[in-house]
Amino acid sequence: MRTIEDLCDRAFDAVSYGFWIATARREATESASMIAAARDEFSQLLARLEEELGDREFFCGAMSIADLAANLLCAGCGLRCESR
């Protein structure tokens, strides 16, 4: 559970912040490459969550803080977490 919570709290926050900075500074020359890098890394992180989840409904068997962290992350980023 701690691994999933840490992934959501640390890695996703860093990627989201980089994406936000690049979006806020669209006129900067590096903005497009920062947005592309953030999207690529975000896709990799989502794939990691999917891999960790596997065929289960919840990360730890029952609803846990890891599930809440992942769900809030997806909602905060404008993504819709599919129900299984």
Residue given tokens 């989840």 in the structure block: 53
Q: Is residue 84 part of a domain?
A: no
Residue 71 in any domain: the answer is yes
Is 82 a domain residue?
no
| Residue 44 lies inside a defined structural domain of this protein | yes
Number of domains in the chain: 1
Evaluate whether residue 17 is within a structural domain.
yes
Please answer whether residues 45 and 74 qualify as being in contact, where contact means their C-beta atoms are separated by less than 8 angstroms. Answer: no
In the block, which residue shows the tokens 């640390």? 10
Collect the ranges in the chain with pLDDT lower than 50: 79-84
- Predicted confidence at residue 74, as pLDDT, reads 64
Write down the pLDDT at residue 70.
77
Domain holding 54, by residue range, is 2-76
pLDDT of residue 30: 94
81: in domain: no
